[in-house]
Amino acid sequence: MSTTRFRPSRRFWPVCAVLALAVTAAGCSSTGGRRAEEARAKAAAAGGSAVTTPRWKVAMVTHAGAGDAFWDSVRKGAEQAAAKDNITFLYSNDAQTQNQVQLVQAAIDQKVDGLLVTLAKGDAMADVLGKAKAAGIPVITINSGQEFSAKFGALTHIGQDENSAGQAAGAELASRGRKNVLCVIHEQGNVGQEERCSGARSKAGGGFQVLYVNGVDMPDARAAISAKLQADPSIDTVLTLSGPMAATGLQAVQDAHRSVELDTFDLGPQVVAGLKSGSVGFAVDQQPYLQGYEGVDLLWLYKSNLDMLGGGKPVATGPQILTKDDADALAEYVARGTR
Partner 1 sequence: MSAPTTPDLLVQDRPAALRRLLARPELGSLIAAAAVFAVFAAAAEPFLRVSSLGTVLYAASTIGIMAVPVSLLMIGGEFDLSAGVLVTTAALTSSMVSYQFTAVTWVGVLVSLATTLAIGWFNGWMLGRTKLPSFIVTLGTFLMLTGANLGVTKAVSGTVSTKSIADMQGFETCRWLFASELNVGGLTIKATVWWWLGLLAVGSWVLLRTRFGNWIFAVGGDAAAARAVGVPVARTKTVLYLGVGFGAWVLGQHLLFSFDTVQSGEGVGNELIYIVAAVIGGCLITGGYGSVVGSALGALIFGMAGKGIIYAQWNPDWFKFFLGAMLLLAALLNAYVKRRAERGPR
Interface residue list for partner 1 (CB under 8 A) = 1-6, 16, 19-20, 23-24, 26-37, 65-69, 71-72, 188, 209-212, 216-220, 222-224, 226-228, 230-232, 244, 247-248, 251, 255-257, 268-270, 335, 337
DSSP 215: T
- The C-alpha atoms of residue 279 and residue 338 are separated, in whole angstroms, by 23
CA distances to 61, 162, 207, 258, 329 from 116, in Å: 6, 19, 39, 44, 30
CA distances to 35, 62, 228, 282 from 178, in Å: 43, 35, 17, 12
CA distances to 113, 117, 129, 130 from 104, in Å: 13, 8, 8, 11
Q: Which is nearer to partner 1, 28 or 50 (CB)?
A: 28
Q: Residue 328: CB partners within 8 Å, gap ≥ 6?
A: 276
Residue 270 beta carbon to partner 1: minimum distance, rounded to whole angstroms: 7
Q: Which is nearer to partner 1, 10 or 305 (CB)?
A: 10
**Count of all residues that appear for the chain in the document:** 339
Residue 139 beta carbon to partner 1: minimum distance, rounded to whole angstroms: 26
Residue 213 beta carbon to partner 1: minimum distance, rounded to whole angstroms: 9
Q: Which is nearer to partner 1, 156 or 338 (CB)?
A: 338
Q: Which is nearer to partner 1, 210 or 309 (CB)?
A: 210
Residue type for position 118 = T
Q: Which is nearer to partner 1, 25 or 306 (CB)?
A: 25
Residue 221 beta carbon to partner 1: minimum distance, rounded to whole angstroms: 10
CA distances to 17, 25, 27, 243, 261 from 14, in Å: 5, 17, 19, 43, 52
Residue 16 beta carbon to partner 1: minimum distance, rounded to whole angstroms: 8
CA distances to 5, 29, 179, 180, 208 from 176, in Å: 66, 42, 9, 12, 15
Residue 338 beta carbon to partner 1: minimum distance, rounded to whole angstroms: 10
Q: Which is nearer to partner 1, 9 or 305 (CB)?
A: 9
